[in-house]
Structures are given as structure tokens and as C-alpha cells.
Amino acid sequence: MSEEILEVKERKLKVSDMAENLIGSEIITLAWQINEMIANGKKISNLTIGDFDPKIFTIPSELKDEIKKAYDENQTNYPPADGTHELRRVVSSFLSKRLGLDYGMDEILITSGARPVIFAAYNTMVDVNDTVIFPVPSWNNNHYTHLTRAKAITVETKPENNFMPTAADLEPHIKKANLISLCSPLNPTGTVFKRDEINDICDLILNENNRRGENEKPVYLLFDQIYWLLTMGETKHYNPVVISPEMRNYTVFVDGISKAFAATGVRVGWGYGPKSIIDKMKSITSHMGAWAPKAEQVAVSRYLGNDELVDSYLENYKSEIIKRLDGFYYGFKKLKDEGFNVDAIEPQASIFMTVYINLIGKKKSDGSVIKTTKDITNFLIDDAMLALVPFSSFGASNDSVWYRISVGTCGISEIELVIQNLRTALSKLS
């Protein structure tokens, strides 16, 4: 028998148009490219991904103990597809006490982090070729719209409004809309809606739904408030249903523990909204198998119901986040005062802050000229040893010179080094 090895040429296989044109997360791609460079010996401060270094920011020790305990109790079988009874009860109580939101257990869906909530919400409220309105910069709405095979209308927001969309921004498109997707506190900016801004958007949606009547599909609101526990200083978090109770009929919330408790890898999130919508979302996630692990659900239900432990953790955790955000904010303000073309928006919430770095037209020491935002991003990596995510990765225009700083992986001692490295690099430009 011949030992000849037959080479089989791989055939280009046709896939769905959705899959063919879907791209992966730009942020995760950038973050891992930087991590690979670091692994190969390049010294870079990687402030890209919205995650935590668990050596710096650990989950609550009591939550960790409860997770271990739940595994010791062999809580390893399938949980109910919509979440354990006890966790949904605790989440219902938590929302009532801390946000003034009245959602029963049958209006709450527990999932493996917040992403399945968003995916299920899109697929429940949006049909193929429906229209989704969302502001840019914002996180992943473009991809979820694509996954749903819907049409996107993007509203580019302005720095003078802290990159938060206004009712006036949304109003020209409202008659086409089937879903408006908003986030506050906002990823990537770390800014929040003011009360009157939320109220105006609620009025816009309610007026449009009144115009449509009962026989036409309404405009729904997807409201991502995964960072609401991380407001800073005098900043207050407002949500549409408390401000405008009629919005309860049209609003689905996205929430969970991943950011507020540095628990991105624990994978426990939840959504809540009208029962008729949540029931359909439950059906979708049940087929996805997108439930959070049972042991983690048991642990979170035991931990989240202890107000004293939660408050103690948040007080210390938030103080550490604030130190880092303030460190970068005042560092950039000092660079601005020194004459460099940079700036920053004062952080209000989350683990993010917004910075402005405009180097267009500047000449590098090798004689090359910085002409694009991509050139700025590469200059920061190569010369300032600093990796940030440009707002273009969040759907903003390609010529935007605004960036996100994420502080969850940053040690306090690193801040001064980042600012000094940036100062040194900027000083070499002409």
C-alpha cells in the first residue's frame, strides 16, 4: 500500500451573511495583542480591557468563602434555567432597598454574566430589519445589532455633554426605532445621565409609544446599569423607571455583580423587566444554556443579602478605584497645564475615565508625522509605553482623538510612571 500522503485542500465554505460579516471584540483583540507584547518583554502599561487584576482587586472574601462552601456542599447540578429561587428573591430585595425598583422574582432572569441578558433582550424585542438606536461611543451595541440582523442608527455624542446622549439627539430617529439601547454609568466614558436627561428621554419614548397606539410594536428601552454601584463623590445614579413609572412597561435592565464586586470571572448577571418580555428572554437563554453556575448562584444569594458586608466591601473598593481615577485625572490636567494638547473629563462612576490626546500633525523624532488616530494609538504604545482604547473601538468616528482609561488592572504606583512616560514621549514631538 502506498504511503503517499494525500493533501486535502481546504475548501472555502459558505456561511451565513451574519457570521461572515461579524467581527470579534476590538477591545479584547487589542488587549491581548498588548499582553502578547508584554509577554515578549516590552514594557507597556496596559489600561485597555475593562477587567481587574485579582491580585489588586479581589472579590469579597466572604463571597469567595461562600463559593467554596457551595462547592463543598456539592451544589454542582443544573440550576433552574431562570436562576435559583433564592438568588432571584435576594436580587428582588436588593433592587427594592437600594434602587427603589419593585420587581418580583418572576420578573428577574439570572444569567452567566450580563452578556446573555443583552443578547436575549435584543432577540426578544427586535425583529430582523428592525431599527436599533444607540449612542456612540458605547459598548458592543453595534455587534448585538448585527447579531440580531437589525438596522443600526448611531448617534455620535459630544464631549460637552460628557458623551451622554440627549433626547434632542435621539428625537430625529424615534419614529424609526424599535429599540433604544442606553448605558449609565457609561462604558467607555465613566459618565452618567443627569436626572433631567433621563426624564427627557423617557418623555420622548412615552410620547412616541402613545402615538403608535396598542396595535403597533412599541419603542423599547434597554438600560444597562451594570456600574450603578460605582458612582463617585456627589454623583447620583438615576434610572428611567423610578423617574418615570410608565417606563416600566417598556424597559429591560441589564445588571449583575461583575463590575461592582470585581467579579468578572464569577459570571453572575441578571436582567429584569416586564414579565411578558422576561419570560421570552428566559426561553432564549434556556436554549443557550446561559445560566450562571449553581454554586456561584448559591454563594451570591447568601452574600448579597448581607447589607453590612456589601457596604463594607464597596466602601473600601470604591475608595481604591477613586484613587486611581483621580490620579489619572489630575495627572492629565497637569500635562494640559504644561502645554500639552491633552485633557480629561472628570470621572463620575465605574472603573473608566475619558481622556483627550490630540497629536495630529505632530512630528516624531524620526521625522514621520502623526496623521491619524491609529498613529496616535501606535505612538502611545511604542513611545509612551501606554496602551489605551480609542473611542473609535466603541463606534465613534475614526478621527476621534478621545480614549478610555481602565483602572482595574492598575496599581497606585503605576500612575505616576504612566504620566511621566507620557510626558517624556510628548516632549519629543515637534
Written in H, E and C, the secondary structure of 36-66 is: HHHHCCCCCEECCCCCCCCCCCCCCHHHHHH
Q: Per 3-state DSSP, what percentage of the chain is helix, strand, and coil (rounded to 5)?
A: 45, 15, 40
Nearest C-alpha neighbor of 232 from the set 320, 351, 322: 322
**Amino acid at site 131:** T
Q: Where are the alpha helices (DSSP H) in 349-411?
A: 373-382
Q: Which residues of 190-199 are buried (b: 16+ CB within 10 A; e: fewer)?
A: bbbbbeebbb
Residues 99, 242 contacting (CB under 8 angstroms): yes
Give CA torsion, residues 213, 215, 216, 218, to 10 deg. 60
Q: Report residue 138 CA to chain centroid gap.
A: 8
Residue whose entry in the numeric block shows the C-alpha cell 458586608 = 309
Nearest C-alpha neighbor of 56 from the set 415, 374, 396, 306: 415
Residues 290, 377 contacting (CB under 8 angstroms): no
Contacts of 93 (CB under 8 A, 6+ apart): 305
Rounded Cα distance between 153 and 385, Å, is: 36
- Backbone angle region of 140, left / alpha / beta, with phi > 0 → left and psi within -120 to 50 → alpha: left
Q: Which three cell numbers stand for residue 122?
A: 435584543
Contacts of 288 (CB under 8 A, 6+ apart): 116, 119, 120
Rounded Cα distance between 31 and 53, Å, is: 13
Rounded Cα distance between 194 and 173, Å, is: 22
Class of domain 61-307: alpha beta
CATH topology of domain 17-57+312-427: Aspartate Aminotransferase, domain 1 (3.90.1150)
- Strands 179-183 and 386-387, sheet pairing: unpaired
Q: Report residue 176 CA to chain centroid gap.
A: 25
* pLDDT the model gives residue 261: 98
Task: Give me the phi and psi of 196, to 5 degrees please.
Answer: -70, -30
Rounded Cα distance between 334 and 418, Å, is: 13
Rounded Cα distance between 317 and 59, Å, is: 10
pTM: 0.95
* pLDDT the model gives residue 40: 83
Rounded Cα distance between 426 and 84, Å, is: 54
Where is 392: in which H helix or E strand?
A: none
* pLDDT the model gives residue 27: 78
Rounded Cα distance between 228 and 238, Å, is: 9
pLDDT digit of tens for each residue in the chain (430 aa)?
455 555 666 778 899 999 999 988 877 788 778 888 888 888 899 999 999 999 999 999 999 999 999 999 999 999 999 999 999 999 999 999 999 999 999 999 999 999 999 999 999 999 999 999 999 999 999 999 999 999 999 999 999 999 999 999 999 999 999 999 999 999 999 999 999 999 999 999 999 999 998 899 999 999 999 999 999 999 999 999 999 999 999 999 999 999 999 999 999 999 999 999 999 999 999 999 999 999 999 999 999 999 999 999 999 999 999 999 999 999 999 999 999 999 999 999 999 999 999 999 999 999 999 999 999 999 999 999 999 999 999 999 999 999 999 999 999 999 999 999 999 999 999 9
Q: Report residue 207 CA to chain centroid gap.
A: 29
Beta bridge partners of 402: 356
* pLDDT the model gives residue 1: 47
Rounded Cα distance between 421 and 294, Å, is: 46
- Strands 386-387 and 352-357, sheet pairing: unpaired
Task: Give me the phi and psi of 411, to 5 degrees please.
Answer: -80, 155
Domain boundaries, given as residue ranges, for the chain: 17-57+312-427, 61-307
Q: Report residue 350 CA to chain centroid gap.
A: 9
Rounded Cα distance between 320 and 317, Å, is: 5
* pLDDT the model gives residue 24: 82
